[in-house]
Structure 1
Amino acid sequence: MKSLLLLLGLLGMASFAEAHKSSDGFLYLDQRSGSSTLRLDVALRDLALIVPLDRNGNGQVTGAEWRQNQPAIRQALSDALSLSNAAGTCALTPQQHGISQHSDGPYATVRFALTCPDGEPATQLDYDLLASVDAQHRGLLQQTHDSGQSLAVLTPGSSAYGLSSENAASAFLTFLWQGVLHLVLGFDHVLFLLVLILPATMRSRASSGDGLTQRLWSLAAIVTAFTVAHSITLVLAALGIVRLPIGWVELVIALSIAVAALNIFWPLLGRKTWKLAFGFGLIHGFGFASVLGELTSETSETVKALAGFNIGVELGQLALLCLVFPALYSLSAWSGYRRAVVPVMAFAVAGISLYWAAERVTGL
């Protein structure tokens, strides 16, 4: 019963998850010899949490409202940033502003000129945009300097980031951890994995061949198929070889969860769950890639970021399976598991995912 309550609690948490891409800000810091600039891109939907963009409350931001809000936008983004070096705090001077288009919609863009007191590059960066309203927001930083480029992930409220301390190991570990978080906190991916492993937990009506060993082999096939599929499209999308609109990708991801849940009872797509995992894993890979594609393109850190992020996703997936599968396996000995527990979980997942799909349709 405790295991059942835990699983139902996870489903309840998932219903509150946002239906769009995670909240990311893009920072492009260029400190090559001759000039230093910093560009910050923030999604309008995120910026609206701290700046009243829609002044008349009609659900749209007009050109007049955008112009009226420019001082407040520049101030909000300036206040979120602080750069310094050994000589003191660097000055940020807004130079250009406008709208840029990312895969998930329009972003407010402000480019700053960076001037440090001794003329040397900044060595430390503080970033706390949305720290008070969105604990999961992060800044994806791309640095360009005379010796090359590097990538990092910044989280509001964390300690200052050392700009000169980036190396291959820290870049890999940074994106590995982000991959873990993206899987564990990405409730759509969590629910998809849940409904994929449900068939492997159910006892067959025939008593033979439904032991733990066979179930583990079945689960291994499912996990391997999903891993191979999303790894393929993650690499293709993040490298820019294949790029799909993130809005449509997220819609298909939501629908895939519902289809996988309903397929347990009406196997229109067959009972070979590993084939289902591979097919829909291809789509989920594009969802994973949306975090990296726009930041890592044309940088020397792409391979390290992709490798770290992909391994992190797998570690998060294994951690989830180690938590969920034993709980479901222990429940499967109960006679009501097949008749009550599985239908409740499957239809709850289907309902949540269809709700997400409806939300995502309105955002296209």
Structure 2
Amino acid sequence: MSRVALLSLLLVSLSAQAQKPSDSYLRLTEADGQGVSGRWDVSLQDLDDVLGLDAGGDGAITWGEVLAREADIRSYVLGRLVLGSEGAPCALVSQGGLHIRQHSDGAYAVVDFDARCTGSAARLDVDYTLLFDHDPLHRGIVRVGAREPLIFSVSQHFARVHLRDESPWRTAERMTVEGALHVVTRPDHLLFLFALLLPSVLRRDVDGRWVAVSGFGTALWDVVKVVSAFTVAHALTLVAATLGWASLPPRFVSIAFALGILVAALDNVRPLGWGTRWTVAFVLGLLHGFGFASVLAGMGLSAGSLALALLGFNLGVELGQVAFVAALLPLAFVLRKAPLYRRAVVVGGSVAIALLACLWLAERALGLGVSVT
């Protein structure tokens, strides 16, 4: 395989991974001593990817197309959830008709059902496997009774829970993990950090050429300034967006973030102006805060739990970034004097990042998702 073909394959693969990870919202409530009622909101985009709802192939899912596949939707969705009580499975029975609910990132099909258990449902076993075989980044946001929401992932799809109460501190702990995972599992976030941190062990001379910095402290301080700009910015907009004080369309945020990655990468190839890297870090932080807010949207957190969840998620993001910097910076410092680092890693790597950002920008600007009409 040629280098061009290999690079193209890599770009397509990473592009597919860079889309916003899908979410579903499942609410389980104790109905009586031996039963649970459920409401499950699943994205029509995800259902279309799996079941092919868009029969017309025009990129717009009609209500008629949804109704025509209602039985398939119910079978697929309810077949990916196993509930149990006292070691015995609960039978899932559909209730009512399918309907549509709008979330911040599009239209969702709502499936209502009852879970009939032979024993007391006060303690419930939940095994969630929706979409994990199709999208390993999918998350199930599950609210059980009066508890704070659980977040299920491909590596953590089972939980044994009580239908009553949960400490807000437990929610904060889960959101800390979620924040760290958000950083280390998102190609666009990692490439953004990569583009900003690659030149941290270098300085441009009067002719605009890269030269190695003299000490590790200089490089570290450069990284601290970049990461701090991003941190302050995303914390501001994450709080504002989650509390409903400000909002931006998800599509605009995704397009702008791809454009910011492109600018950061191009600045490594040819300087675009003094202070561009810090400006890009701050602006991208502001935009990313709106993206982070989607993680908390729709979870129905109480005021006290929301404050701790915000704190936990921000802390998790910083821990993820610190881990990335700790792995990258020492290696970059050791290699900084090698011409191969400056030419192949910094310049060549930045060109590759810019190409990938262009691909993301085109995808997101064209709006390749589906809508309900």
TM-score clears 0.5: yes
Separation in 2, partners of 1:322, 1:32: 49
Paired position in structure 1 for 2:53: 53
Which of residues 343, 346, 353 in structure 1 aligns to 2:347?
Answer: 343
CA RMSD after TM alignment: 2.8
Paired position in structure 1 for 2:232: 228
Give runs of aligned pairs for residues 31-46 of structure 1, distance below 5 A: 31=30, 36-46=36-46
Displacement after TM superposition at 1:30 (Å):
2.7
Displacement after TM superposition at 1:226 (Å):
1.0
Give the AA of the match of 2:173. Answer: L
Paired position in structure 2 for 1:277: 281
Separation in 2, partners of 1:229, 1:27: 31
Displacement after TM superposition at 1:185 (Å):
1.0
Q: Is residue 2:162 matched to residue 1:141?
A: no
Paired position in structure 2 for 1:30: 29
- Could you tell me whether the CA contact under 8 Å between 1:125 and 1:162 is conserved in 2? yes
Paired position in structure 2 for 1:98: 99
Displacement after TM superposition at 1:352 (Å):
0.6
- Could you tell me whether the CA contact under 8 Å between 2:26 and 2:141 is conserved in 1? yes
- Could you tell me whether the CA contact under 8 Å between 1:255 and 1:353 is conserved in 2? yes
Which of residues 241, 245, 248 in structure 1 aligns to 2:249?
Answer: 245
Paired position in structure 2 for 1:152: 150
CA spacing shift, 1:335–1:155, aligned 2, 3 Å: closer
Paired position in structure 2 for 1:180: 180
CA spacing shift, 1:41–1:269, aligned 2, 3 Å: farther
Q: Is residue 2:218 matched to residue 1:219?
A: no
Give the AA of the match of 1:107. Answer: Y
Give runs of aligned pairs for residues 294-313 of structure 1, distance below 5 A: 294-298=298-302, 300-313=304-317
Separation in 1, partners of 2:293, 2:45: 21
Moved more, 36-45 or 260-269: 260-269
Displacement after TM superposition at 1:328 (Å):
2.0
Paired position in structure 1 for 2:132: 131
Give runs of aligned pairs for residues 157-172 of structure 1, distance below 5 A: 158=156, 160-164=158-162, 166-172=166-172
Residues 52-102 of structure 1, C-alpha deviation per residue, up to 9 Å, x if partnerless? 313354544333321110011111111111222227333333224212112
Displacement after TM superposition at 1:212 (Å):
1.7
Displacement after TM superposition at 1:251 (Å):
0.8
Q: Is residue 2:329 matched to residue 1:319?
A: no
Moved more, 339-348 or 204-213: 204-213
CA spacing shift, 1:208–1:71, aligned 2, 3 Å: closer
- Could you tell me whether the CA contact under 8 Å between 1:151 and 1:301 is conserved in 2? no
Q: How many residues align?
A: 353
- Could you tell me whether the CA contact under 8 Å between 1:116 and 1:122 is conserved in 2? no
Moved more, 236-245 or 89-98: 89-98
Unaligned runs of at least 5 residues, structure 1: 1-7
Which secondary structure does the structure 2 equivalent of 1:290 belong to? helix
CA spacing shift, 1:263–1:204, aligned 2, 3 Å: closer
- Could you tell me whether the CA contact under 8 Å between 1:171 and 1:305 is conserved in 2? yes
- Could you tell me whether the CA contact under 8 Å between 2:40 and 2:111 is conserved in 1? yes
Paired position in structure 1 for 2:64: 64
Displacement after TM superposition at 1:336 (Å):
4.1
- Could you tell me whether the CA contact under 8 Å between 1:237 and 1:289 is conserved in 2? yes
Separation in 1, partners of 2:355, 2:335: 23
Moved more, 184-193 or 201-210: 201-210
Separation in 2, partners of 1:271, 1:301: 38
Unaligned runs of at least 5 residues, structure 2: 1-6
Paired position in structure 2 for 1:80: 80
Displacement after TM superposition at 1:249 (Å):
0.6
Which secondary structure does the structure 1 equivalent of 2:28 belong to? strand
Give the AA of the match of 2:77. Answer: L
- Could you tell me whether the CA contact under 8 Å between 2:38 and 2:115 is conserved in 1? yes
CA spacing shift, 1:285–1:85, aligned 2, 3 Å: same
% identity of equivalent residues: 38
CA spacing shift, 1:223–1:137, aligned 2, 3 Å: same
Paired position in structure 1 for 2:4: none
CA spacing shift, 1:224–1:67, aligned 2, 3 Å: same
CA spacing shift, 1:217–1:272, aligned 2, 3 Å: farther
- Could you tell me whether the CA contact under 8 Å between 1:249 and 1:287 is conserved in 2? yes
Paired position in structure 2 for 1:20: 19
CA spacing shift, 1:218–1:130, aligned 2, 3 Å: same
Displacement after TM superposition at 1:41 (Å):
1.2
Moved more, 182-191 or 46-55: 46-55
